[in-house]
């Protein structure tokens, strides 16, 4: 391969992927030196470009693949032969040229590495207690980048001129800070300031903030992708105060610690959970509370799990001592986006935070903490944001050079997705688009992604719901638009992740989604591929008395089902459900007045939770189901009666007999036994329908998606029930809840285009 003189060869090597801002050029420089090569390496708009000449090029190429920096991701390497050069005497790192076409991938923000952690704790190091310490292996990336290529001048570090020592590190190819774009120190970099009613001047504002938190204060702390609200997780009064001020009654708070030893005192941690906690993504990981759990009761009330993260930025390592556990929740009012601009913290948070720990490096893009749980030794994403976004998802056989798709995503837990060639760029978590501030953040983020990845979409994908903000936004773009049914998009997201092209049995379990018949879907069995789907089964429709109120007040669902079963005997069996005007509510629902029909699995969990007296009114999404699952933990149970009937070629799961069984079961066997019995029953029923569809179709692959799949008790039972006869898949790269919908929308749109089912001239 290549023209040679005495074994010499010269290659032009193009490396694409996440290869900027992760120490890739110094890695290439060192590798080239080890193999006695001449030539150069540079960053450009496509990634990293190398021209290398020598006798050990094959070993050099092998080293690129095997030894690449841990924070990098190499998507592909192209190699071309070049004529030999007789003028080179060394291997050098060249400056980045002006961008022409943007193919560069942007690294997610990376958790602090062990080397930087040691430096900030070393009294003899010049970066001792410096809260912006970073290197090519860690630190901010996506949150500070404003343009590509990823050079300091294109980040929010452009206002900070490096001192001589930092510049020497930056220019030394053998230093781990070589071309670390956010490189800085106490002399030349950003700094923290602490404010109460006025600025607090002291020698160490971070130590002062720590002391204030330990004394019971709530402190807004500016971090990587926005502000956190921090308080002492052991202090019941401080946690209660934070809940009251943030208007967050029961939804669990996440906590932060600096080491695994502290976490293990609170929670059970397996090897995969530990690996995820200590990863460069450093997400919040949901961990089972241990018997020694002793945080304030209101940190995560009525919940068997605790969301935990390790300190992932220097500020966190300095703010928390070894034994500390701090609540670290997004600094926002409920349902609003995370605060990330300094002026907002003084206006929006002045009634919430007692103090503000502020720094003078701009955050260009707000990025929430990611949330993960481990199931079957694999990550299940609940929120894909910091540490994951904007890393691309490979499109495999959906690769398409002719067009780019903008998938606008769902209404709740929104992400959007842009495609280019063989990659899908899923946005960071945006939030619920029912809020105007979130709407603005949504539009800002779409504009940023278009700019960073040089994408001008010519095909749009969106939900079918006509009233979703994302649907209305899609229609305003005046481009060809593919509308994708919500639950088909759920299934398609798994198909796209795993590059499946064959038909599968798709099981979409969630609370809501606009159905083809105009009803609310959410307990769906489909035979589907990316092109199309056929609804072959669903949970029986139930009315939602009072419409949207029934979602917030599960007692309404329980009332309707209990009255349907017991009639006026309900007064004896469920007196707690008889709110004022309850008869009018039932009559209106029976007449179809303000009582839309739903097949949602989420509403089934709500109904059972209320029937068992666990949760009559919810303060956050999924609360009734979460508390029902908690009641079922470590309990025995039994499979209760249920009915599966056939209606117009579809299997209908009717749980009326299950609901009826719960009253006597709770009376005789107790709450926990009843809760576990419901989970056992539902898993058996879902499994039976899957068995029937498998026999009907011969399909042996089952795909699960939707927010209800975050119920690990249910999924464990389903996997035990089905894994011997079927190949089972869930989302692993995008959230299993609505946060993954946009990938499914994009995949369906691309597949339809590739099959000539989309007219771009419309």
Find the helix or strand (DSSP H, E) in which 604 lies. Answer: helix 601-611
Place of tokens 């002391």: 211
- Which of these, 713, 721, 730, lies nearest to 382 by C-alpha position? 730
Q: State yes or no: pLDDT of 101 exceeds 50.
A: no
- How long is the chain? 762
Residues forming a β-bridge with 138:
135
- Which of these, 548, 483, 490, 540, lies nearest to 655 by C-alpha position? 540
DSSP 432-491: -TTSHHHHHHHHHHHHHHHHHTT---SEEEEES-TT-HHHHHHHHT-S-EEEE-HHHHHH
Instruction: For the chain, give the mean pLDDT.
Output: 95
Question: Mean pLDDT across the stretch 333-342?
Answer: 88
DSSP 34-87: HTT-EEEEEEETTEEEEEEEES-HHHHHHHHHHH--TT-EEEEEEEEE----SS
Please report the pLDDT score of residue 22 as a whole number.
Answer: 84
Distance separating the N- and C-terminal Cα atoms of the chain: 49
Please report the pLDDT score of residue 219 as a whole number.
Answer: 99
Active site residues: 25, 43
Angle at which helices 623-632 and 712-722 cross, to 10° = 60
Burial (0-12, 13-18, 19+ Cβ within 10 Å), 548: exposed
Question: Mean pLDDT across the stretch 449-460?
Answer: 96
Please report the pLDDT score of residue 372 as a whole number.
Answer: 98
What stretches of 514-581 show up as alpha helix (H) in DSSP? 549-552, 555-566, 570-573
Place of tokens 């930087």: 116
Provide the percentage of residues in the chain whose pLDDT is more than 90.
90
- Which of these, 161, 217, 168, 164, lies nearest to 189 by C-alpha position? 161
Please report the pLDDT score of residue 75 as a whole number.
Answer: 86
Question: Mean pLDDT across the stretch 37-58?
Answer: 93
What is 9-93's CATH topology? Alpha-Beta Plaits (3.30.70)
CATH number of 538-731: 3.30.420.40
Question: Mean pLDDT across the stretch 318-328?
Answer: 98
Cα–Cα dist 314/336, whole Å: 27
**Candidate from 46-50, 705-709, 739-743 with smallest mean pLDDT:** 46-50
Tell how strand 192-195 and strand 73-81 pair up. unpaired
Helix (H, G, I), strand (E, B) or coil at 530: coil
Question: Mean pLDDT across the stretch 137-159?
Answer: 94
Please report the pLDDT score of residue 3 as a whole number.
Answer: 45
Q: State yes or no: pLDDT of 99 exceeds 60.
A: no
Please report the pLDDT score of residue 102 as a whole number.
Answer: 58
- Summarised one tens digit per residue, pLDDT across range 558-616 is 999 999 999 999 999 999 999 999 999 999 999 999 999 999 999 999 999 999 999 99
Q: Please, which pLDDT band fits residue 4 given cuts at 50, 70 and 90?
A: very low
Instruction: Break the chain into its structural domains and give their ranges.
Output: 9-93, 192-371, 392-484+733-762, 538-731
- Summarised one tens digit per residue, pLDDT across range 15-32 is 998 888 788 988 999 999
Please report the pLDDT score of residue 98 as a whole number.
Answer: 63
Highest mean pLDDT out of 95-109, 335-349, 395-409: 395-409
Please report the pLDDT score of residue 732 as a whole number.
Answer: 96
Question: Mean pLDDT across the stretch 320-330?
Answer: 98
Please determine, looking at this structure, whether the domain spanning 392-484+733-762 carries the CATH number 3.30.420.360: yes
Please report the pLDDT score of residue 44 as a whole number.
Answer: 87
Cβ neighbour number for residue 49 with a 10 Å cutoff: 18
Cα distances from 521 to residues 164, 216, 485, 513, 534, in angstroms, run 62, 46, 10, 5, 14
Q: Show the tokens assigned to 704.
A: 């699960």
Please report the pLDDT score of residue 5 as a whole number.
Answer: 53
Domains 192-371 and 538-731 share a fold: no
Cα distances from 615 to residues 195, 552, 595, 635, in angstroms, run 41, 10, 21, 19
Q: State yes or no: pLDDT of 366 exceeds 80.
A: yes
- Summarised one tens digit per residue, pLDDT across range 174-222 is 899 988 999 999 999 999 999 999 999 999 999 999 999 999 999 999 9
Please report the pLDDT score of residue 335 as a whole number.
Answer: 76
Q: What is the rounded radius of gyration, in angstroms, for the C-alpha atoms of the chain?
A: 28
Cβ neighbour number for residue 671 with a 10 Å cutoff: 16
Cα–Cα dist 181/703, whole Å: 42
Question: Mean pLDDT across the stretch 35-64?
Answer: 94
Q: Please, which pLDDT band fits residue 153 given cuts at 50, 70 and 90?
A: very high
Please report the pLDDT score of residue 6 as a whole number.
Answer: 61
Please report the pLDDT score of residue 271 as a whole number.
Answer: 98
Burial (0-12, 13-18, 19+ Cβ within 10 Å), 343: exposed
Question: Mean pLDDT across the stretch 491-513?
Answer: 98
CATH number of 192-371: 3.90.870.40
């Amino acid at each position: 391969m290549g023209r040679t003189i005495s074994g010499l060869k010269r290659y032009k090597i193009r490396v694409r992927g996440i290869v900027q801002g992760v120490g890739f050029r110094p890695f290439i420089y060192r590798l080239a030196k080890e193999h006695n090569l001449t030539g150069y390496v540079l960053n450009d708009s496509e990634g990293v470009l190398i021209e290398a000449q020598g006798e050990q090029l094959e070993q050099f190429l092998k080293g690129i693949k095997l030894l690449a920096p841990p924070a990098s991701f190499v998507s592909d390497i192209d190699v071309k032969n070049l004529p030999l050069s007789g003028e080179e005497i060394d291997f050098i790192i060249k400056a980045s040229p002006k961008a022409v076409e943007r193919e560069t991938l942007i690294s997610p923000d990376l958790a602090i590495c062990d080397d930087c952690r040691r430096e900030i704790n070393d009294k003899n190091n010049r970066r001792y207690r410096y809260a912006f310490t970073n290197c090519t292996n860690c630190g901010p990336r996506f949150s500070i980048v404003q343009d590509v290529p990823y050079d300091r001048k294109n980040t929010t570090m452009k206002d900070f001129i490096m001192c001589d020592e930092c510049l020497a590190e930056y220019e030394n190819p053998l230093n781990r800070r070589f071309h670390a774009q956010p490189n800085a120190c106490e002399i030349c970099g950003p700094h923290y300031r602490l404010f109460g009613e006025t600025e607090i001047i002291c020698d160490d504002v971070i130590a002062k903030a720590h002391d204030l938190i330990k004394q019971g204060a709530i402190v807004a702390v500016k971090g990587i992708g926005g502000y956190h609200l921090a308080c002492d997780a052991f202090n019941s009064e401080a946690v209660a105060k934070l809940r009251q001020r943030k208007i967050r009654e029961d939804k669990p708070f996440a906590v932060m610690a600096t080491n695994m030893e502290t976490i293990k005192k609170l929670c059970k941690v397996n090897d995969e959970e530990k690996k995820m906690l200590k990863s460069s993504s450093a997400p919040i990981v949901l961990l089972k509370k241990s018997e020694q759990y002793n945080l304030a009761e209101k940190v995560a009330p009525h919940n068997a799990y605790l969301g935990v993260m390790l300190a992932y930025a220097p500020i966190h390592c300095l703010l928390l001592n070894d034994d500390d556990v701090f609540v670290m929740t997004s600094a926002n009012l409920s349902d609003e986006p995370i605060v990330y601009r300094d002026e907002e913290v003084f206006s929006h948070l002045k009634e919430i935070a007692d103090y503000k720990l502020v720094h003078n490096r701009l955050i260009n893009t707000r990025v929430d903490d990611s949330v993960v749980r481990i199931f079957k030794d694999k990550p299940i994403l609940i929120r894909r944001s910091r540490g994951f976004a904007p890393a691309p998802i490979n499109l495999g056989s959906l690769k398409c050079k002719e067009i780019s798709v903008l998938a606008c995503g769902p209404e709740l837990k929104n992400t959007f997705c842009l495609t280019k060639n063989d990659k899908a760029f899923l946005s960071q978590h945006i939030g619920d688009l029912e809020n105007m501030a979130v709407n603005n953040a949504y539009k800002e983020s779409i504009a940023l992604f278009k700019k960073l990845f040089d994408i001008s979409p010519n095909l749009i994908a969106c939900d079918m719901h006509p009233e979703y903000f994302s649907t209305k936004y899609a229609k305003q773009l005046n481009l060809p638009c593919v509308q994708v049914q919500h639950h088909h998009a759920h299934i398609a997201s798994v198909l796209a992740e795993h590059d499946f092209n064959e038909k599968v049995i798709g099981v979409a379990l969630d609370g809501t989604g606009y159905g083809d018949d105009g009803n609310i879907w959410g307990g769906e069995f489909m035979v589907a591929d990316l092109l199309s789907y056929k609804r072959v089964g669903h949970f029986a429709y139930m009315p939602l008395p009072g419409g949207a109120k029934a979602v917030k007040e599960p007692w309404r669902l329980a009332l309707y089902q209990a009255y349907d079963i017991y009639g006026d005997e309900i007064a004896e069996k469920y007196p707690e459900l008889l709110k004022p005007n309850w008869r009018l509510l039932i009559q209106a629902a029976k007449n179809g007045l303000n009582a839309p029909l739903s097949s949602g699995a989420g509403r089934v969990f709500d109904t059972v939770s209320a029937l068992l007296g666990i949760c009559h009114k919810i303060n956050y999404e999924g609360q009734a189901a979460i508390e029902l699952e908690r009641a079922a933990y470590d309990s025995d149970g039994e499979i209760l009666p249920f009915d599966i009937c056939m209606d117009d070629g579809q299997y209908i799961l009717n749980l009326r007999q299950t609901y009826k069984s719960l009253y006597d079961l709770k009376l005789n066997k107790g709450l926990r036994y009843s809760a576990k019995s419901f989970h056992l029953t539902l898993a058996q029923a879902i499994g039976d329908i899957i068995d029937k569809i498998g026999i009907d179709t011969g399909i042996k692959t089952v795909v699960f998606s939707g927010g209800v799949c975050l119920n690990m008790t249910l999924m464990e039972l389903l996997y035990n029930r089905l894994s011997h006869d079927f190949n089972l898949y869930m989302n692993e790269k995008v959230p299993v809840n609505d946060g993954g919908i946009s990938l499914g929308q994009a995949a369906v749109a691309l597949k339809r285009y590739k099959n000539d089912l989309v007219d771009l001239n419309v």
